[in-house]
Amino acid sequence: MFTVMVIDDSPFIVDIFVTMLQRGGYQTVAAYGGQEALETLSTVKPDLILLDIMMEPMDGWETLMNLKNSPGLRDIPVMMLTAKQLTPSEAQEYGIYIEDYIMKPITHKELYEAIEGQLNRRRMMEIDIQMATEAGVDAKTIEEYGRLRKSIDINKRLLKLLESTYKISDEKMKMGDEAGLAIRSMGMNVRFQEERLEQLRTEFSAGNRPA
């Protein structure tokens, strides 16, 4: 059974999400703070972590980095589930480490769709990587492909969230605005990554052609 860990320093919030997940058929593990989560993860390995940001004394970002700096935990996918508005600096610093950034409150349906979407993306990436491996594509290229696929996917979602939060499309926003410049820079970086990804896809296709 698919296991989801919920990390939040509010027992009330944890109980809400545990109940939602269990109704959806997921097995759950609860942790009431970052330190407790890290201690629990020494014996339990969930398939996915839902992590709140505004916790004390260890907040969600610090908890995330502890997870990603631990060899035994870094591969567990993490979705930030929070009422805190995302900032451009957070998106740029932490985007590479997370699978999604979901704003609370959230409905049962939205939560299930977010989890299943993350699972489907991982499955599709695994299929692509397996096909590339079988086609003889070198390991370094495959690793870069996987990294770019994930980065582009999450950064597009973070950009959409930031554009909504900061109303980047508003004509009144000044070009010199710090948030606006950061968001535009992220957008340009995503486009560069997409171009590189297309190059790698071409290499994958070439590897599949008969000699």
Rounded Cα distance, 126 and 120, in Å: 10
Yes or no: say if 70 and 97 are a contact pair by the CB < 8 Å rule. Answer: no
DSSP 49-95: EEE-SS-SSS-HHHHHHHHHTSTTTTTS-EEEEESSPP-HHHHHHHG
Q: Is the pLDDT of residue 208 over 70?
A: no
> Is residue 5 a contact partner of residue 61, using CB atoms and an 8 Å limit?
no
Amino acid at 139: A
Pairwise CA distance, residues 103 & 68, whole Å: 22
Alpha helices in the chain (DSSP H): 11-23, 34-40, 60-68, 88-94, 108-134, 139-166, 178-208
Compute the average pLDDT of residues 33-62.
Answer: 96
Q: What is the pLDDT of residue 170?
A: 52
What's the pLDDT band for 54 if we cut at 50, 70, 90? very high
Q: pLDDT band for position 211 (50/70/90)?
A: very low
Q: Indicate the pLDDT class of residue 184, thresholds 50, 70 and 90.
A: confident
Share of the chain above pLDDT 70, in %: 93
Q: For the residues 11-34, what does the mean pLDDT come to? A: 96
pLDDT digits (tens, 9 = 90+) for 141-153: 889 998 999 899 9
Distance set, CA 151 to CA 100, 141, 157 (Å)? 11, 15, 10
Give dist(CA 55, CA 149) in Å, integer.
Answer: 30
What type of residue is 27?
Answer: Q
Q: What angle do CA 63, 68, 72 make, to 5 degrees?
A: 110
- Give which of 14, 13, 29, 24 is closest to 109, Cα–Cα: 24
What's the whole-model pTM score?
A: 0.87
**Above 90 in pLDDT, residue 90?**
yes
| Top-confidence residue, 93 or 174 | 93
